[in-house]
Structure 1
Amino acid sequence: MLIDIPSELEAALIDRFLPPWELDGSFLAQSTMEEYRTELTVTPRFEETAATLRHALAGEGGGYAVLRLGNLAKVLGVDDDRFLRLATGFAAEVAVPFSPFPRWPLWKDIGVKVDKDPGKSSGIGYNAFHMDLVNGTMPPDYTTLLCVRPDPLGGGPSILSDAHAAVARLSEDSRALLAETAYHYGTFFDLHGVGEEYKPFPILDGSNPGERFVRFTAKMLERSQLGQAHADAARELAEELVRGQVSFMLQPGDYLIVNQRRFLHGREALHSGQETVPVADRRLLLQLFLRARAGDGSAA
């Protein structure tokens, strides 16, 4: 769902100053969230917009939203501290912002590296459907991406797919295989706020079917040793995710928020010729993770 910011709200936010945030460990401090909320809720139509955002992410049939902050980005600068604080304030209306990576700031850069594994988030190739931090016992409930610069050559649209709808189209036998604790992917080192390493794990866990994680990354098909039957079931799921995908190009200031209990995400390949683009002009996103508050239905 695309959410445009009402003009009255845009005009008021340009003049709204939020103080620098503070962290409590790897999480945004409660005092900062309260301060941001106090400042923002007196802004015309903020609460209405925040409610629309929450419904798009956790309401019936929802699971992702793109908050169109481009006009604010033009005025304030998309990587300016004032703009990032406003984006953080919107994020805190959904859940608690945090960074699972102690060596990175709250917002983590995802740039483009032509010599990186093409399938990685900072690579130039197709980034297949996945959930972030799939091998943690407590993955982030939401993953978010703020577009600073799209690919200047026109590639790299974001892709999203309803994981539960894809699972529902699978055979009963495939779903049974995906529910077995037989999958593994990636490393687990120096991470905060995402539980313990989960290895092996089921792709389908046993919680409420409508809200459970679909612990999937297509990269496991090439980079993990899986038994034939389990690999075939995961491959079938990958195909269904592609069949049900939506895609769109993020523009400067667009803020994509994905409910990881409902949708998986990825990215089409960047346009060829990235090595000719100066590093400072290449595609750049900022990533932030969110943890649902205790008692929030999306954390069921």
Structure 2
Amino acid sequence: MFPSTFRVPVAPSLASTLAEYDLVMDGHTWAEPEVTRVRKVLRAAGAALVHRLADRLALDGCVVAALPSELSDDLLHRAAAGVVAAAGTPFCPIGGGRALWLDGTGQTGLDDGPTRDLGIELPDVTAPPDYASLLRLGPGPAGGGQVVVADLRSAAVLLANEDRDVLRRPVFGKDRSGHVRGVGGPMLPFPVLEDGPPGMSWIRWSGTLPTTATRGTARHSNASPRCWGSPRGG
């Protein structure tokens, strides 16, 4: 459950229009001609939505785009891709599933139980995506619960110098499963903190202990310093 301040509703008429565009792929990326057509719609009928999404991302680094519940799962896949296209070119770094979206719960770890580790997407690559998106089509298999959204950059500012020194060491790891695409090369082990301007440090948190990757110690998480959530309905 996200606080209501994160929620940005997508008008049914706009969602239906976005759902008219096919998820034609160019490799692992949504084909540019389709993305261009979708952005024309967003600049016209969806301009207000784009501004609200941008405002929430700038303020909180996270937004929940609430899609209308009356759309079928197939149409929701398309409409959600259209919403994500407001932030960049949608792509899927992990093989499997349908076009931009992974199917089921087995590939994402969402059936692991009532609690899951806090982490970010793909911390162990040289070019992680700017945003991560999760499309929720129904209640969680564990019955739902609370979603923790952490502003990791703000948290990093509060760290003591000795803690920052520890997190700068390239000794952290994550058990990567399968081949990933469009995110640069592997980075194992990696530092949690990569220093930048104040408040802009890149953070690679995977929820694992400060040691190189050990099989079975990490689970997939859709929590991210900057993430999109696209639930059906409210």
TM-score range, shorter chain: 0.7 to 0.9
Percent identity of equivalent pairs: 23
Is the Cα–Cα contact under 8 Å of residues 164 and 210 in structure 1 kept in the other structure? yes
Read off the aligned partner of 1:63 and give its amino acid letter: G
* Separation in structure 2 between the aligned mates of residue 189 and residue 169 of structure 1, nearest angstrom: 35
Read off the aligned partner of 2:27 and give its amino acid letter: G
* Separation in structure 1 between the aligned mates of residue 6 and residue 89 of structure 2, nearest angstrom: 22
Aligned ranges for residues 199-278 of structure 1 at < 5 Å? 199-220=188-209, 224=213, 260=224, 262=225
SS of equivalent to 1:146:
strand
The number of equivalent residue pairs is: 218
- TM-score, reference length from structure 2: 0.79
Match of 1:87 among 80, 83, 88: 80
Read off the aligned partner of 1:200 and give its amino acid letter: P
Q: 1:110 to 1:159 in 2, by over 3 A?
A: farther
Read off the aligned partner of 2:9 and give its amino acid letter: I
Q: 1:56 deviation in Å?
A: 1.1
| Residue of structure 2 equivalent to 1:166 | 155
Q: 1:76 deviation in Å?
A: 1.6
Match of 2:101 among 100, 107, 111: 107
Is the Cα–Cα contact under 8 Å of residues 26 and 98 in structure 1 kept in the other structure? yes
Is the Cα–Cα contact under 8 Å of residues 63 and 263 in structure 1 kept in the other structure? yes
Aligned ranges for residues 15-34 of structure 1 at < 5 Å? 18-34=20-36
Q: 1:49 to 1:94 in 2, by over 3 A?
A: same
Structure (1 or 2) with the larger CA radius of gyration: 1
- TM-score, reference length from structure 1: 0.63
* Separation in structure 1 between the aligned mates of residue 65 and residue 213 of structure 2, nearest angstrom: 35
Is the Cα–Cα contact under 8 Å of residues 164 and 214 in structure 1 kept in the other structure? yes
More deviation in 178-187 or 128-137? Answer: 178-187
Read off the aligned partner of 2:48 and give its amino acid letter: E
* Separation in structure 1 between the aligned mates of residue 89 and residue 206 of structure 2, nearest angstrom: 24
Q: 1:129 to 1:16 in 2, by over 3 A?
A: closer
Is the Cα–Cα contact under 8 Å of residues 16 and 79 in structure 2 kept in the other structure? no
* Separation in structure 2 between the aligned mates of residue 65 and residue 264 of structure 1, nearest angstrom: 7
Match of 1:157 among 131, 143, 146: 146
Gaps of 5+ in 2: 215-221
| Residue of structure 1 equivalent to 2:41 | 39
* Aligned alpha-carbon RMSD (Å): 3.1
Read off the aligned partner of 2:92 and give its amino acid letter: S
Identify, as 1 or 2, the structure richer in helix: 1
Q: 1:129 deviation in Å?
A: 0.9
